[in-house]
């Protein structure tokens, strides 16, 4: 079976771009499974968060799936188009990744020693 | 989290860095049920009984100091968690303790079936929220330990959100990065369990121990596909309801293998290593289930009983198309836990001054095979001990930080390039396939040599320079840094596995079946010396291997 994932991509300040990918799947597979296949087979730079993969324990893969806030690891892939977008009420970082950590668990850049040209690429 | 809390309590100022959300990115939040400690609430018990069971399960290889620490200090940590309101299940005014395989009596506490790990994480997170001395920082992946004159003086990290290199000065560093089961295709791990801590420790000059012992959980879910539920969730079902393991001919087979082990109870016949062995052998003999495992059947349990025990879970299973009263599920071994890890002394310090480790990152306490429930106890006990030791050092040591200490890792991050390279996400998958096929629970000289060859090739393909695709949340860079660690850690498993020419616990050599007590009742130690992986046993250098 084939699913089409229409994924909103980009970084803050840029006009978002929707890119569509086709992914073949077995019944029962999740949207997160599909996204991981896309990274391996089509575009390794596609950014989304996940940790526990399948257990619905880490809550990191929350995103907008067909317009509804949901976990990519629990929503199943379906035939036809599924739209994926970053969480609307959180600051965008890249593609489907938003800033979801509580403010007091984020790096306060000013309080750390950061090499001048610390950016890595 | 436990180490951070304890270090703060001892007066240190602590930074707790995690590459994911704090307390959500590792195994603890995923853990299902049991935490073993000789509380003696259900039936009289003593920590020495727990130790005897732990040593027996470890098949002669446990570091007895560490195992004793887990068993002796475990009850105190369980009670501390109780006072922090974790909500251990109770019955008749006492904490309820369940029987688990390999334990000689009911010893394992839990919160509720399937929610013990989340409760542990939540309780520790809540304590941390209320602490002023621990600064928590998520999205911060530690890339290397910073060293000055051979001592740990901090760390270099990649701040995932911005893509910047961040250096952290510290008088002591505790590695609490969990295990390595992500090295295998079928695993119960999170994406953060590629063994980062083992690689950090090795490159810093610390040693690893017992690395050949990767525990496979025998009844990982195989089919039909489950979504949103953990693949090792069947254990609690077996605890509570029993559950028959059947082969493809619908025949119970555990008894056929039980003569190898006397430690049986009513519901479980075999410990994890033997159950893994039994299922794999049935599949190999052509008596597997359609997806290549065994059936786990609860059809002998009345439907009302299943529902009484697991009501809400039964509904989630139904959403996955599974009706336990009518249909068996398919299960097979899945990489689950790592007995090996960083070698520490009884203060949880590595041989690198100022570098400590705790939790699953530590090796030795469980020898060749871990008892169920011992891992979370170990995380509490070692966490507390490492946190305390690190704080002591920090309070009694002068600041030795220099920017130079972080230079190699900062340079590595800066060298990341957009370059024509293999797809790193695909290379991770390849590595996992290689380890599963060639260095899984059953190995042989031939398969392990193929693993070495495969790792060599992958290492060449991946190259030394990290690959990048973007500034900030760059999955390509993260994958390439993960591979740098995973490839090193995979070698640290494969080389001692090749050297150990016997079968013991989680290390089963097809070409050397059976224990060799004369030659192999010894631990193997792995170190990285001038780019070479050394495997040592009882002080003797077995072989020096160029790290590939
Ligand atoms: C599905 C599952 C079920 C289990 N059930 C049980 C059970 O019932 N009973 C039991 O005793 N044991 C169980 N275990 C084992 C047990 O959960 C683990 O051994 C234990 O939780 C490990 O705790 P830890 O603190 O060492 O590591 P973890 O909880 O794995 O935490 C490691 C942390 O380190 C972070 N990290 C990793 N690398 C880096 C890096 N480079 N930089 C920054 N941060 C990093 C991760 O994001 C994570 O937050 C289970 C394990 C799994 C996977």
Separate counts of helices (H) and strands (E) for chain A: 1, 7
Give the per-residue pLDDT at B313: 85
B180 in Cβ contact with B338 (< 8 Å): yes
Token pair, residue B363, equals: 């090796």
Q: Is B510 left (phi over 0), alpha (psi -120 to 50) or beta?
A: alpha
Atom of ligand 1 nearest to the CA of B22: 49
Q: 3-state SS of chain B: helix, strand, coil percent to 5?
A: 40, 20, 40
Q: What is the DSSP string of B225-269?
A: PPSSS-TTTHHHHHHHH--EEE-TTS-B-HHHHHTT-----SS--
Query: Considering all CA atoms of chain B, what is the largest pairwise distance in Å, rounded to the nearest integer?
Result: 67
Q: How confident is the model at residue B547 (pLDDT cuts 50, 70, 90)?
A: low
Touching B: A residues 62-101, CB under 8 Å: 71, 73-74, 76, 93-95, 97, 99-101
Pocket test of ligand 1: the residue of B117, B122, B168, B381 to mutate, having most ligand atoms within 8 Å of its CB, is B117
Helix (H) or strand (E) holding B272: helix B272-284
**Contact state of A93 with B118 under an 8 Å Cβ cutoff:** no
Phi, psi angle pair for B210, to nearest 5°: 60, 30
Split at pLDDT 50, 70, 90, the class of A108 is confident
* pLDDT tens per residue, range B451-464: 999 999 999 999 99
As a whole number of angstroms, the distance between CA B500 and CA B521 comes to 10
Task: List CB contacts of B345: < 8 A, sequence separation 6 or more.
Answer: none
> Taking CB atoms and a 6 Å cutoff, what residues make up the pocket around ligand 1?
B 17-20, 25-28, 30-35, 141-142, 176-178, 188-189, 192, 196, 230, 232, 337, 359-361, 373-376, 379
Partner-chain contact A93 B24, CB within 8 Å: no
Q: What is the per-residue burial (b if ≥16 Cβ within 10 Å, else e) of B252-268? A: ebbeebeeebebbeeeb
Contact B94/B40 with Cβ under 8 angstroms?
no
Q: Which H or E element spans position B457?
A: helix B445-462
Tokens for B440, please give them: 């899984």
Structure tokens at A99: 């800033």
Give pLDDT, residue B319.
85
Task: For B19-47, give the secondary structure using H, E and C.
Answer: CCCCCCCCCHHHCCCCEECCCCCCCCCCH
Q: Tell me how long chain B is.
A: 548
Q: Is B139 exposed, middle or buried (0-12, 13-18, 19+ CB in 10 A)?
A: buried
Residue nearest to atom 35 of ligand 1 (CA): B177
d(CA B532, CA B529): 5
Contact (Cβ atoms closer than 8 angstroms) between residue B78 and residue B72: no
Q: Which contacts qualify for B455-460: CB closer than 8 Å, 24 or more apart?
A: B455/B431, B455/B487, B455/B490, B455/B491, B455/B494, B455/B548, B456/B548, B458/B427, B458/B430, B458/B431, B458/B434, B458/B483, B458/B487, B459/B487, B459/B548, B460/B548
Instruction: Tell which wins on pLDDT, A8 or B263.
Output: A8
Name the residue among B30, B168, B413 with its Cβ closest to that of A120.
B413
Tokens of B337: 């836990």
The answer to whether the Cα torsion of B498, B499, B503, B507 is positive or negative is negative
What is the value of ipTM here, to two decimals? 0.93
> Are the beta carbons of B229 and A56 separated by less than 8 Å?
yes
**Nearest by CB: A74 against B228, B230, B466:** B228
Q: Which of residues 458-517 of B touch A (CB under 8 A)?
A: 466, 468-477, 479
B476-503 pLDDT, tens digit each: 999 999 999 999 999 999 999 999 999 9
Measured between alpha carbons, how far is residue B486 from residues B17, B184, B431 in Å? 20, 10, 8
Q: What is the pLDDT of residues B73-104, one digit of tens each?
A: 999 999 999 999 999 999 999 999 988 888 99
Q: What span, in angstroms and rounded, lies between the C-alpha atoms of B414 and B158?
A: 10
Count of C-beta atoms within a 10 Å radius of residue A88: 11
What's the length of chain A? 121
pLDDT at B372 over 90: no
B546 pLDDT above the threshold of 70: no
Q: What is the pLDDT of residues A4-59, one digit of tens each?
A: 999 999 999 999 999 999 999 988 899 999 999 999 999 999 999 999 998 888 99
pLDDT exceeds 50 at position B297: yes
**Torsion angle defined by CA atoms of residues A100, A105, A111 and A115, in that order, rounded to the nearest 10 degrees:** -60
Pairing of strands B108-109, B134-137: unpaired
Q: What is the pLDDT of residue B47?
A: 98
Which among A60, A105, A118 is the nearest to B136, CB-wise? Answer: A105
Cβ-based neighbour number of residue B368 at 10 Å: 26
- Ligand 1 pocket: which of B26, B110, B189 to mutate (most atoms <8 Å of CB)? B26
d(CA B216, CA B440): 8
Contact residues for B203 (Cβ-Cβ < 8 A; gap 6+): B144, B145, B488, B528
pLDDT of residue A66: 98
| pLDDT tens figures, B124-145 | 999 999 899 999 999 999 999 9
Cα–Cα dist B92/B376, whole Å: 25
Position A114 pLDDT exceeds 60: no
Does residue B467 contact residue B417 with C-beta atoms inside 8 Å?
A: yes
B318 touches chain A (CB under 8 A): no
């Amino acid at each position: 079976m084939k699913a089409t994932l229409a994924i909103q991509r980009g970084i803050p300040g840029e006009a978002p771009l929707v890119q569509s990918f086709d992914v073949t799947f077995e019944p029962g597979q999740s949207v997160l499974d599909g996204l991981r296949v896309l990274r391996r087979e089509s575009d390794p730079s596609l950014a989304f968060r996940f940790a526990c993969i399948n257990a619905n324990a880490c809550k990191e893969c929350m995103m907008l799936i067909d317009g509804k806030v949901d976990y990519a690891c629990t929503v199943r892939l379906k035939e036809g188009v599924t739209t994926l977008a970053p969480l609307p009420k959180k600051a965008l970082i890249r593609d489907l990744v938003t800033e979801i950590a509580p403010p007091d668990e984020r790096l306060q850049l000013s309080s750390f020693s950061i090499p001048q040209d610390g950016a890595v690429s | 989290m436990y180490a951070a809390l304890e270090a703060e309590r001892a007066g240190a100022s602590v930074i707790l860095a995690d590459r994911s959300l704090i307390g959500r990115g590792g195994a603890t939040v995923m853990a299902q049920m049991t935490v073993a400690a000789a509380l003696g609430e259900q039936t009289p018990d003593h920590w020495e009984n727990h130790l005897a069971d732990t040593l027996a399960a470890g098949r002669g290889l446990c570091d007895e100091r560490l195992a004793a620490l887990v068993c002796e200090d475990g009850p105190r940590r369980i009670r501390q968690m109780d006072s922090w309101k974790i909500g251990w299940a109770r019955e008749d005014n006492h904490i309820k303790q369940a029987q688990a395989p390999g334990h000689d009596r009911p010893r394992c506490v839990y919160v509720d079936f399937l929610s013990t790990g989340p409760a542990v994480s939540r309780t520790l997170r809540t304590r941390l929220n209320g602490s002023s001395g621990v600064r928590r920082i998520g999205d911060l992946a530690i890339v290397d330990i910073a060293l000055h004159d051979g001592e740990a003086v901090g760390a270099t990290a990649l701040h995932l959100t911005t893509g910047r290199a961040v250096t952290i000065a510290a008088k002591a560093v505790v590695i609490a990065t969990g295990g390595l089961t992500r090295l295998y295709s079928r695993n119960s791990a999170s994406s953060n369990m590629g063994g980062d801590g083992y690689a950090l420790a090795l490159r810093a000059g610390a040693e690893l121990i017992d690395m050949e012992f990767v525990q496979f959980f025998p009844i990982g879910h195989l089919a039909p596909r489950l979504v949103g539920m953990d693949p090792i969730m069947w254990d609690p079902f077996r605890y509570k309801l029993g559950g028959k393991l059947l082969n493809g001919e619908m025949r119970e087979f555990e008894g056929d293998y039980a003569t190898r082990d006397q430690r049986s109870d009513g519901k479980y016949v075999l410990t994890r290593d033997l159950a893994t062995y039994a299922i794999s052998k049935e599949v190999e003999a052509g008596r597997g289930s359609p997806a290549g495992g065994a059936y786990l059947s609860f059809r002998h349990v009345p439907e009302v009983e299943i529902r009484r025990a697991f009501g809400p879970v039964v509904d989630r299973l139904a959403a996955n198309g599974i009706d336990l009263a009518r249909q068996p599920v398919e299960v097979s071994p899945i990489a689950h836990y790592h007995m090996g890890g960083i070698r520490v002394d009884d203060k949880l310090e590595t041989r690198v001054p100022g570098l400590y480790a705790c939790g699953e990152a530590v090796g030795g306490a469980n020898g060749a095979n871990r008892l169920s429930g011992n891992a979370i106890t170990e995380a509490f006990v070692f966490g507390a001990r490492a946190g305390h030791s690190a704080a002591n050092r920090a309070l009694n040591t002068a600041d030795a930080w220099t920017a130079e200490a972080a230079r190699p890792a900062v340079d590595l991050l800066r060298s990341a390039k957009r370059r024509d390279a293999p797809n790193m996400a695909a290379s991770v998958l390849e590595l996992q396939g290689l380890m599963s096929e060639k260095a899984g629970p059953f190995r042989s000289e031939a398969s392990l040599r193929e693993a070495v060859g495969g790792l060599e090739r992958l290492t060449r393909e991946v190259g030394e320079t990290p690959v990048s695709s973007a500034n900030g949340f760059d999955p390509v860079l993260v994958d390439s840094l993960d591979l740098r660690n995973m490839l090193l850690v995979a070698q640290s498993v494969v080389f001692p596995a090749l050297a150990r020419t016997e079968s013991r616990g989680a290390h089963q050599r097809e070409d050397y079946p059976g224990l060799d007590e004369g030659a192999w009742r010894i631990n193997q130690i792995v170190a990285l010396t001038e780019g070479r992986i050394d495997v040592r046993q009882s002080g003797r250098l077995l072989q020096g291997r160029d790290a590939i």
